[in-house]
Amino acid sequence: MPESTDSGVTRGTAEVVVASNRAAAGVYADETGPLIVEALRDLGFTVTAPVVVPDGAPVGAAIAAAVDGGARVVLTTGGTGLTPTDQTPEQTRPLLEREVPGIAEAIRAAGVEAGIPTAVLSRGLAGVRGSCLIVNLPGSRGGVKDGLSVLRPILVHAVEQIVGSDH
């Protein structure tokens, strides 16, 4: 059952997908997914542990499964850079019915404003599929923190707008 906030508004469920070959192989523990889970819970979403998958097609499959499972928000982390294995945007784009470029642009800008000029190299996307908002965040802790600073004040409003709720 969806969690309700103190105001009684039901936020619904959210999913976190971590794209990392090394974390999926157990080489190291992912540190970005738990940051995102905590932020989503703070906003009133019901969210389980992050789903950690290798880069590439497993990312698209995990996003699709989350949306098909009724998630209102899917946040990914990792796979947005320029290395040959960074394929999160390519896996995300075909799933989107409508892109929301301002979110991805604001996340890149937040990184630059935080003094990280390489933030402009992130190719992350944001968009809507059905009643779900999907956003790609970078794979670094700093990139996730910058992305969450952009999402915190807008995420609930965006999710409500997707289903036509009053705003």
| pLDDT tens per residue across span 119-148 | 999 999 999 999 999 999 999 999 999 999
Quick one: pLDDT band at residue 165, thresholds 50, 70, 90? confident
Query: Residue 84 pLDDT more than 90?
Result: yes
So what's the pLDDT on residue 167?
Answer: 53
Taking residues 73-87, what's their average pLDDT? 97
Residue 100 CA to residue 137 CA, distance in Å, equals 14
Token pair in block for residue 1: 């059952």
Instruction: Provide the mean pLDDT of the chain.
Output: 93
Quick one: pLDDT band at residue 1, thresholds 50, 70, 90? very low
One-letter identity of residue 84: P
Calculate ∠ Cα 131-92-110, nearest 5°.
Answer: 90
SS3 state of residue 85: coil
Quick one: pLDDT band at residue 10, thresholds 50, 70, 90? low
Is the distance from CB of 40 to CB of 71 less than 8 angstroms? no
Residue 137 CA to residue 148 CA, distance in Å, equals 9
Percentage of the residues of the chain whose pLDDT score is greater than 70: 93
Write down the H helix ranges in 69-140.
88-92, 101-113
Residue 151 CA to residue 145 CA, distance in Å, equals 10
- pTM value? 0.93
Taking residues 40-65, what's their average pLDDT? 97
Query: Residue 92 pLDDT more than 70?
Result: yes
One-letter identity of residue 101: P
Query: Residue 6 pLDDT more than 80?
Result: no
